[in-house]
């Protein structure tokens, strides 16, 4: 099996915040057409909230004592999912600054999440794809959030990924991305803290591009036939 599968895909607008209780600026949808969905996100809209050991159940996005002014490689500029041919799909996040080869933080995630989030206890598993820095090496894989309270997450198969001049991209098979779905609700996030944390129970992303809700695969090309049958005439 090419990935860990999920069930259900009920989507409500509130669910696209990926456990982010509030955000200040909306994203701009650039394209929502079969085979291509693109959203632009404004600069400086990060949601930076320090965690507190004294109150580990509060919503927070960065460790205690962390700087509140994060560099541009935490800030989403553009996010998209696009068919690239050969039954392949590219997922891309562009950032306002290039991603360092070895980020000076112990944890960093760029992710595309499907199926909604844990806001409002949306039913069903929530799956996605993430590119992870664990403080030592980069990796990328499918994942499934199998529980919201308490939080549980299951790692799926690894995927191909690559960094570009302005962001990170992942390429997967269209069938692997869709699974049993015919369309795909999605949004992009950047995380400074893991979704499942040993101390803080309500970690949230530092940035979210939430406004693209649905990726629909392009239909197969139509078979074009002439209106009148061709007739061969001897010369």
The answer to whether the CB of 124 falls within 8 A of the CB of 15 is no
Tens-digit pLDDT profile for residues 18-46: 443 334 456 777 888 999 999 999 999 99
Residue 145 covered by a domain = yes
Write out pLDDT tens, residues 144-183: 998 888 888 999 999 999 999 999 999 999 999 998 889 9
Is the pLDDT at 230 greater than 90? The verdict is: no
Whether residue 41 lies inside any domain: the answer is yes
In angstroms, rounded to a whole number, what is the distance separating the alpha carbons of residues 94 and 163? 10
Q: Which pLDDT does position 223 carry in this prediction?
A: 40
Tens of pLDDT, residues 61-100:
999 999 999 999 999 999 999 999 999 999 999 999 999 9
pTM score:
0.82
Distance between CA atoms of residues 143 and 185, nearest Å? 15
* Residue 54 counted as domain residue: yes
What confidence tier does 1 reach under pLDDT thresholds 50, 70, 90? very low
Can you state the percent helix, strand and coil of the chain, rounding each to 5?
5, 40, 55
User: Which tokens is 91 given?
Assistant: 């997922």
Answer whether residue 188 is part of any domain.
yes
pLDDT at 10 over 70: no
Q: Which residue has the higher pLDDT, 110 or 147?
A: 110
DSSP labels, 9-24:
----GGGGGTT----S
What per-residue confidence (pLDDT) applies to 30?
Answer: 81
The parent domain of residue 84 ranges over 13-209
CA distance 37 to 80: 5
- On whether residue 233 sits in a domain, the answer given is no
Please state, in angstroms and rounded to a whole number, the distance separating the CA atoms of residues 190 and 225: 48
User: Is 225 a domain residue?
Assistant: no
Higher confidence at residue 129 or residue 3?
A: 129
* 73 within a domain of the structure (yes/no): yes
Q: Report pLDDT digits (tens) over 182-221.
A: 999 999 999 999 999 999 999 999 999 976 668 999 887 6
Percent over 70 (pLDDT), the chain: 77
Q: Total domain count for the chain?
A: 1
Q: Is residue 1 part of a domain?
A: no
CB of 206 within 8 A of CB of 48?
A: yes
């Amino acid at each position: 099996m090419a990935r860990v599968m999920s069930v259900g895909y009920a989507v409500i607008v509130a669910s696209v915040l990926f456990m982010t209780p509030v955000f200040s600026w909306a994203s701009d949808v650039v394209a929502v057409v079969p085979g291509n969905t693109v959203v632009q996100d404004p600069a400086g809209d990060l949601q930076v909230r320090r965690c507190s050991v004294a109150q580990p159940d509060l919503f927070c996005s960065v460790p205690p004592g962390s700087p509140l002014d994060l560099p541009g490689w935490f800030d989403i500029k553009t996010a998209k999912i696009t068919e690239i041919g050969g039954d392949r799909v590219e997922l891309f996040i562009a950032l306002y600054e290039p991603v360092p080869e070895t980020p000076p933080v112990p944890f960093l995630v760029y992710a595309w999440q499907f199926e909604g989030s844990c806001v409002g206890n949306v039913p069903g598993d929530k799956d996605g794809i993430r590119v992870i820095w664990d403080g030592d090496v980069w990796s990328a894989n499918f994942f499934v959030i199998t529980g919201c309270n308490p939080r549980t997450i299951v790692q799926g198969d690894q995927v191909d990924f690559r960094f570009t001049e302005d962001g990170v991209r992942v390429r997967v098979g269209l069938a692997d991305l869709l699974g049993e779905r015919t369309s795909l609700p999605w949004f992009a996030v950047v995380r400074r803290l893991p979704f499942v944390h040993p101390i803080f129970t309500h970690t949230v992303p530092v940035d979210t591009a939430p406004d693209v809700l649905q990726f629909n695969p392009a239909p197969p090309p139509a078979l074009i036939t002439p209106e009148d049958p061709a007739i061969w005439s001897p010369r």
